[in-house]
Amino acid sequence: MRVIRHYDFDGFIDAVAPIAARGEASASFFIGSAHSMKRSPPRKGDRVYLATCSGKDVLGVALLRDEGPVLIGESDGAASVAFAADLVADWPDLQGVMGAAPACDAFVRKWKELTGRNCRLRVRLRQHALTAVSEVPQSRGAPRVALAADADWIIDKQIAFIQEVGLPERAQRLREVLPPRIERGDFRIWDDGGRVAYAGYNDAAPDFARIAPVYTLPEHRGRGYATSLVAALSRELKEQGKRKLFLTTDVANPISNAIYARIGFRPENDDCGFDFIAADA
SS (H, E, C) 17-28: HHHHHHCHHHHH
SS3 227: helix
- Assign 281 a pLDDT band (cuts: 50, 70, 90): low
Q: What is the rounded average pLDDT of the residues 176-193?
A: 95
Q: Is the pLDDT at 165 greater than 80, yes or no? A: no
Q: Is the pLDDT at 247 greater than 90, yes or no? A: yes
Per-residue pLDDT, 103: 98
Sheet hosting strand 244-250, strand order edge to edge: 2-5, 48-55, 58-65, 70-73, 96-99, 266-277, 118-130, 244-250, 208-216, 195-202, 187-191, 142-145
Per-residue pLDDT, 180: 93
Whole-Å CA distances, 206 to 28, 137, 150, 240 = 11, 30, 27, 10
Over the stretch 56-108, which tens digit does the pLDDT of each residue have?
Answer: 889 999 999 988 899 999 999 999 999 999 999 999 999 999 999 999 999 99
Over the stretch 123-143, which tens digit does the pLDDT of each residue have?
Answer: 999 999 999 999 999 999 999
Per-residue pLDDT, 34: 95
Q: Is the pLDDT at 184 greater than 70, yes or no? A: yes
Per-residue pLDDT, 204: 80
The share of the chain scoring above pLDDT 90, in percent, equals 86
Pairing of strands 142-145, 118-130: unpaired
Per-residue pLDDT, 171: 82
Per-residue pLDDT, 213: 94
Per-residue pLDDT, 164: 81
Over the stretch 220-242, which tens digit does the pLDDT of each residue have?
Answer: 999 999 999 999 999 999 999 99
- Worst-scoring range by mean pLDDT, 73-87, 112-126, 158-172, 213-227? 158-172
Per-residue pLDDT, 45: 87
Share the mean pLDDT of the chain. Answer: 94
Angle between the N-to-C axes of helices 101-115 and 77-87, in degrees from 0 to 180, rounded to the nearest 10: 40
Per-residue pLDDT, 7: 96
- Residue 185 neighbours by CB distance under 10 Å: 12
Over the stretch 13-45, which tens digit does the pLDDT of each residue have?
Answer: 999 999 999 999 999 999 999 999 998 899 888
Q: What is the rounded average pLDDT of the residues 205-226?
A: 95
Single out the residue of 211, 236, 210 nearest to residue 142, CA to CA. Answer: 236
